[in-house]
Amino acid sequence: MNKHSLRDIKREATAQALADAAFELALERGLDGFVVEDVVQRAGYSRRTFANHFSCKEEAVVTAAVTFSGIDEAEGLLADMSESTALLDVLQQLMRTQLTADLLWKLRELVSLSKRHPTLEPFILSVFRRLQTAAQETLSDFSQGRYPEGYTHLLVGAVYGAILPVIDGSLNVLLPGETSETPGATTFDQYLDTTFGYLRNGV
């Protein structure tokens, strides 16, 4: 491993520590209940280090949701798939890898926070866009031009559009590990299977 990659790893770890501290403080105190100084004290870094990574505490809070820890797993998953695998099947497996229980829970918490603190909304949209872009790039790399350019955009857009009402609580979908006595509740895995079933069957 070269020095550049080690430096990148260290930088990412620093940013993640600051983001996690900001997210924890937001959950404990609300967005108005802490300042950047509280974040750096909790994370053990300087205010200058914070400024090297984030423009404001809102950006740090939201960044905590996206660790991209599943990238290596996703690459390994795709390496095991043959070129004949349908893109919908590739995307479904990618979504299961990318949308971990931890990520879904954090996104739902962030959306809940944003209802009280609208300044979070543009940063949440940015994070969601990053997730979509990562999925889009992965599908494009896998397809190697075998499909029309707009097809991968259509698939990713449709699936992520279906995930939004799960995150904002509009649909009665249980996140991994959740239980509910509410009639009609479905698990996230069931919801994902149903979504891809609709796409496969053209419903």
Select, from the ranges 45-54, 78-87, 132-141, the one with the highest average predicted confidence (pLDDT). 45-54
Residue 192 is predicted with a pLDDT of: 93
Distance from chain centroid for Cα 113: 16
Which tokens sit at 10?
């260290």
d(CA 85, CA 89): 7
| pLDDT (tens digit per residue) in 154-164 | 999 999 999 99
Mean pLDDT of the chain: 87
Any bridge partners for residue 173, and if so which? 186
Select, from the ranges 9-13, 47-51, 84-88, the one with the highest average predicted confidence (pLDDT). 47-51
3-class SS at 129? Answer: helix
CATH fit for domain 71-201, picks 1.10.357, 1.25.40, 3.40.50, 2.60.120: 1.10.357
Contacts of 201 (CB under 8 A, 6+ apart): none
Instruction: Look at 74-78, 108-112, 193-197 and tell me which has the smallest mean pLDDT.
Output: 74-78
Rg (CA), the chain: 19
pLDDT at 77 exceeding the cut of 80: no
pTM, rounded to two decimals: 0.83
DSSP assigned state of 186? E
- Domain spans of the chain? 3-63, 71-201
Return phi, psi of residue 35, to 5°: -125, 175
| pLDDT (tens digit per residue) in 92-143 | 988 888 888 888 999 999 999 999 999 999 999 988 888 888 888 888 888 8
Instruction: Read off the amino acid at residue 170.
Output: S
What crossing angle do the helices spanning 87-98 and 121-143 adopt, rounded to 10°? Answer: 140
Which tokens sit at 198?
């609709």
Q: What is the mean pLDDT of residues 7-30?
A: 92
pLDDT at 32 exceeding the cut of 80: yes
82: left (phi over 0), alpha (psi -120 to 50) or beta: beta
**How much of the chain exceeds pLDDT 70, in percent?**
92
CATH level 2 (architecture), domain 3-63: Orthogonal Bundle (1.10)
Which tokens sit at 136?
């889009």
HSE on the CB side for 134, CA within 13 Å?
A: 20
